[in-house]
Amino acid sequence: MVAPRLTLDRLFNDTDAPVQPGSSNSDAVNPTRRAFLAGGCLCLACSFAGPVLADAPMAKSRAPGFYRLTVGDFEVTALSDGTNMLPATKLLRGDPARIEDALKRDYLGDVVETSHNSFLVNTGAKLVLIDAGAGSLLG
């Protein structure tokens, strides 16, 4: 396999002779017209990548890690980021004793499993990622 530096030196020097690492070649700083045009074409192609990728078609498929639904003209995808076991007294506001009594009445412990989700909104023209976060709850 050719080292990346050797390939770049060949591109900018436009010679068939291999350039060895550490050797001095005064032409290495002066790119050829072909290399300059190739770099310009690459920059031009990359400038169109952002808007093209943002225009996403509506997808109707489902999988275990996400759930899609339509809200008006928008497609909203709920993205599952997993679950976490947290104390119910941290999740709910109110008197901790009343919270524990309510959980015991329904045969539940103080620690409950919670889901972490983010939402991806597809407007048809833009993709918007919404993640409210958990603040100081998760550290």
pLDDT reading at 110 higher than 60: yes
pLDDT for the residue 21: 55
pLDDT for the residue 18: 52
Tell me what the pLDDT averaged over the chain comes to: 74
Q: How far apart are CA 28 and CA 33, in angstroms?
A: 13
pLDDT for the residue 15: 52
* % of the chain at pLDDT higher than 90: 19
Tell me the residue type at 126. Answer: K
* Residue that has been written with the tokens 């997993």 in this structure: 82
pLDDT reading at 121 higher than 80: yes
pLDDT digits (tens, 9 = 90+) for 24-81: 555 456 667 777 677 766 666 656 555 545 566 666 666 778 889 899 999 999 999 8
β pairing state of 127-130 and 111-122: antiparallel
* Contact (Cβ atoms closer than 8 angstroms) between residue 120 and residue 129: yes
Q: What is the mean pLDDT of residues 7-28?
A: 52
Q: What is the mean pLDDT of residues 104-124?
A: 90
Pick from 3-17, 23-37, 103-117: least confident: 3-17
* Contact (Cβ atoms closer than 8 angstroms) between residue 119 and residue 67: no
Q: With bands split at pLDDT 50, 70 and 90, how would you rate the model's confidence at 2?
A: very low
For the chain, the structural domain boundaries read 4-47, 66-130
